[in-house]
Amino acid sequence: MHGYSAFSILRNGLTGQRHWRRAWRSPDPKSAYDVVIVGGGGHGLATAFYLAENHGVRNVAVLEKGYIGGGNVGRNTTIVRSNYRLDGNTQFYEFSMKLWEGLSRALNFNVMFSQRGFLLIANSPGELDTFGYRANVMKLNGIDAELLDREEVRRMVPYLNFSEKALYPVHGALLQGRAGTARHDAVAWGYARAADAYGVDIIQGCEVTGFVRQGERIVGVETTRGRIGAGKVGLAVAGHTSVLAQKAGLELPIESHILQAFVTEPIKPLVHHVVAYGADHFYVSQSDKGGLVFGGGLDGYNSYAQRGNLGVVREVAEASIAMMPCISRLRILRHWGGVMDMTPDGSPIICPTPIDGLYLNGGWCYGGFKATPASGWCFAHMLAKGEVHPLTAAYRLDRFRTGRTIDEAGAGPFTWLQ
Amino acid sequence: MLRIECPCCGPRDHDEFRYGGDASVTRPAYDDPDFEAWYRYVFVRENPAGLHREYWQHVVGCRQWLVVERDTRSHTIASIRFARETRA
């Protein structure tokens, strides 16, 4: 791999930027691979990278129906945190956080990981109590967590609505100092470039239309660029898991929903952390360009449309100015939608399927971006060794049969309420 | 914004309605001991990219439950009926 360094920037700067090489190849698909990963988003690319890096499996293809960075990896609000309460989630997301902390170095690509701190605001004394419980769970698992009272929150984020008449009064907050944001496109590009350097074929514009079977076993995929044989097939297709799984004859506890995100016109530095509150669903950070990047809840009905409805735009705007009245006159520049795999408990599925040769990585709900490194790491482990990684042991498909659901929100088996 | 033609109240914005999820699943009888049937009813969903039969309740209007047939890719609505009329 042609490494990126201060020296390479200087050299290319002095030679008119004409000698940069393409970050990854655009190969034609071979007739067969040891592993075919369907979906060239963050998770699929990370899986390919860790297959090569950790397990020496390099005869790998990543098939992407669109282009790299065009799906959910480029549509999220870039937040990375590991402040989860329930066993299974807590340890998995903290492992991901640790990978984030070394990711730019591991990939030789600056993913602009910024540990600016994640503040989850408590709007009632009861909520603050549950945050205390969550902070204890985090600390027992070796994760940094701090419970702040109202005055400490005010010193950190004085622009919130601290008025006595606030619709959502501030009673305190749960702070995770190591949490923050990362540049989401850079994550896709960095993993793609690093995987490509190991010889992984990244094939864009290649949609999987069906599966090739030999007896009960899946031995390849039919694509818009022909049949491709595979020792193992891994699905990492974000919002379209159900569509692909149906082609394999697999029924899943997943529904697809739209989640919207928004960015305002750029302003001077105002929001120095990631700030969120749950009484009305809202989370915001400020990008390096100065725009406020924020989001809220789901559109609320099944959708594959990749665009959202205006009712939610209004709700999220109301939630934003209830918490931050000072931004009421900011204009929203853009809003967009991504298709989420929503599971009935709000937690993901990384699991072998009942079909031989087919492995599933999906159901990421809201949590996909922050999970990217650990998801790739554990899915690669499963594909290389044929066994479940201990950190994803709880993310089994059969947990819905056995009652071992991981319902962080406590919302019941309704995908659109998670 | 979806516009749902309520058979009772006429065309209304969807945020007057509450979403009730997939209407194609059937609830087993209360005394049905078949675990698989209950598992499928609670969790398994077809989740089609295309026509989807789903429940909506007109909560700020007539409060009737409707079954709406809608394309999940384009949001085009193919049919709307009272849920009670769709019961077998």
Instruction: Collect all residues of chain B within an 8 Å Cβ-Cβ radius of residue A246.
Output: 46
CB contact under 8 A, A252 and B73: no
Query: Considering the domain boundaries, does residue A394 fall inside one?
Result: yes
Interchain contact, B19 vs A415, CB within 8 Å = no
Q: Which residue of A has its CA nearest to B53?
A: A302
Distance, in Å, from the CA atom of A361 to the CA atom of A237, rounded to the nearest integer, reads 8
Q: What is the mean pLDDT of chain A?
A: 95
Q: Which domain holds residue A247?
A: 25-74+184-251+345-402
Just give the CATH number of B3-26+36-85.
Answer: 3.30.2270.10
Q: Return the SS3 of B85.
A: helix
Q: Which amino acid is at B78?
A: A
pLDDT at A410 over 90: no
> What pLDDT is attached to residue B86?
81
Residues of A in contact with B70 (CB under 8 A): 301
pLDDT of residue A280: 85
What is the total count of domains within chain A? 1
pLDDT at A279: 86
Go through chain A and tell me how many residues it has. Answer: 418
pLDDT tens per residue across span A232-285: 999 999 899 999 999 999 999 999 999 999 999 999 999 999 999 988 889 999
Task: Scan residues 230-269 of A and list those with Cβ closer than 8 Å to B.
Answer: 240, 242-243, 246, 251-256
Q: Give pLDDT, residue A1.
A: 58
Residue range A133-168, pLDDT digits in tens? 999 999 999 999 999 999 999 999 999 999 989 999
Q: Is residue A279 part of a domain?
A: no
Chain B positions in Cβ-Cβ contact with residue A256 (cut-off 8 Å) = 47, 49, 72
The C-alpha atoms of residue A253 and residue B21 are separated, in whole angstroms, by 13
Mean pLDDT of B50-75: 96
Using CA coordinates, name the residue in chain A closest to B45.
A253
Nearest chain B Cα distance for residue A315, angstroms:
11
Q: Predicted confidence band at A412 (pLDDT cuts at 50, 70, 90)?
A: confident
User: What is the percent of chain A with per-residue pLDDT over 90, rounded to a whole number?
Assistant: 94
Residues of B in contact with A309 (CB under 8 A): 1-2, 14
Q: Give B-chain residues touching A398 at CB under 8 angstroms.
A: none
User: What's the confidence (pLDDT) of residue A409?
Assistant: 87
User: Do A344 and B42 make contact, defined as CB atoms within 8 angstroms?
Assistant: yes
The residues, any chain, with a CB within 8 Å of residue B73's CB and separated by 6 or more, are: A304, A305, B49, B50
pLDDT digits (tens, 9 = 90+) for A357-374: 999 999 999 889 999 999
Say which range, A38-52, A105-119, A345-359, A404-418, has the weakest mean pLDDT.
A404-418
Q: Which CATH number goes with the domain that contains A190?
A: 3.50.50.60
Torsion of CA A7, A8, A12, A13, to 10 degrees: -40
Q: How far apart are CA A231 and CA A383, in angstroms?
A: 10
Domain positions in chain B are: 3-26+36-85
ipTM over 0.85: yes
Sheet of strand B18-22, all strands in order from the earlier edge strand to the far edge: B18-22, B51-57, B65-71, B77-82
Residue A322 pLDDT exceeds 80:
yes
Cα of B88 to nearest chain A Cα, Å: 24
Mean pLDDT for B50-63 is 97
The answer to the question of residue A370 being in a domain is yes
Average pLDDT of the segment spanning A114-126: 97
Radius of gyration (C-alpha) of chain A in whole angstroms: 21
* Structure confidence at residue A411 (pLDDT): 86
pLDDT at A256 (0 to 100): 97
E-assigned strands of A137-270? Answer: 146-149, 172-176, 180-181, 201-203, 208-214, 217-223, 226-235, 255-264
| Among A222, A224, A252, A227, CA closest to A239 | A252
Q: Does A311 touch chain B (CB under 8 A)?
A: yes
Percentage, residues of chain B above pLDDT 70: 98
Residue A187 pLDDT exceeds 70: yes
Instruction: Tell me what pLDDT residue B88 has.
Output: 52
| All residues at 6 or more sequence positions from A201 whose CB lies less than 8 Å from its CB, including other chains | A25, A27, A29, A30, A33, A60, A61, A62
Give the chain B residue nearest A240 (alpha carbons).
B49
What are A332's strand-pairing partners?
A264
Quick: pLDDT tens for A207-237. 999 999 999 999 999 999 999 999 999 999 9
Residue A396 lies inside a defined structural domain of this protein: yes
Residues A21-75 pLDDT 10s: 999 999 999 999 999 999 999 999 999 999 999 999 999 999 999 999 999 999 9
DSSP single-letter state for residue A162: -
Nearest Cα of chain B lies from the Cα of A115 at a distance, in angstroms, of 37
Residue B87 has pLDDT above 80, yes or no: no
Q: Is A409 contained in some domain?
A: no
Among the partner-chain residues B1, B15, B54, the one whose CB lies closest to the CB of A302 is: B54
Tens of pLDDT, residue by residue over A52-64, are: 999 999 999 999 9
What is the arithmetic mean of pLDDT over B57-68? 96
Question: Is position A383 within any domain?
Answer: yes
Closest residue, chain B, to A258 (C-alpha) = B72
Q: Could you tell me if residue A173 is inside a domain? A: no
- Does A223 map to a domain? yes
